[in-house]
Amino acid sequence: MSHHFNSTIDAGLSLPVLATAGAQPGWVVLNRARDERFTGQIVFHSQPEMAVYFDHGIAYHTVSPGDRALSEQLVEAGVVVPAQIERGTVRVGNVEHLGRLFDRDNSIDRDSVMVALELATDDAIAAIANRPATNFSVTAYRHHASGVHRWLVYAGPSVQFAPAAAVAQVVNPVATGFPDIADLQPVDDVSIEWDHPIEPDGQGAILLSVDGSQDALRDADEICVPSPPPVVPAPRRRTQGPSYLSLQ
């Protein structure tokens, strides 16, 4: 049975939606996982069935039914010995977790182990890419139980901090546009002139609006300026002596 892949229609589909669109060529699925920086598991329902595990779009491990444990494959490849596997493995129930392999045994050559895993994965990926169209299923963020995704170091965009000496100096800072404080001349007398007359409010204070106009008193905040106290003339002292009354 032949399958037709319509690249014009399917090019904009996300990976989960593409999985429901029918059988797809292996290379199309792999490219979509890479472009979407997919993390999780994709199972190709071919013969034999194969599960591929991705981290940020990178295929890091493949598993088919009947495959031996990864630790056994590494021993067979000659990159580790059984004693190193024993020291570096964390066993929880039936799970053989190798995610902390290099932390638990510093004698293991990390590069050799990584290359052995990459070679095995690349061979499986090449086989999937050249298979005829097949159905597949997607499970996001499902990692392989061996924990080997912890071996990967994601080299994504990062912020680079330059040393202080490498930072360009400001040629014309804003402060250079202001006069020096030593050049400022002192001001002896300052007077304030109002555009509008001010009138007492009848209670010993003068009410001014913010803009100085009386019309704005209803809408703007009012500033209460106390008026000066009234000037009361001092009482005049009476002169001691007789008082003369002129009779006509």
* Gap between the Cα atoms of 102 and 148, Å rounded: 11
In angstroms, the Cα distances linking 105 to 32, 60, 116, 145, 193 are: 37, 22, 18, 20, 86
Q: If you compute the radius of gyration of the chain from its CA atoms, what whole number of angstroms results?
A: 44
pLDDT tens by residue, 188-235: 666 666 665 555 555 544 454 445 455 444 444 445 555 666 666 666
Q: What is the mean pLDDT of each run of 10 residues along the chain (248 residues)?
A: 47 85 93 95 94 96 94 96 96 94 95 95 95 93 95 57 52 62 67 61 50 48 57 60 48
Partners of 224 in the β-ladder: 207
CA angle 194, 199, 202 (to 5 degrees): 155
pLDDT tens by residue, 9-28: 456 788 999 999 989 999 99
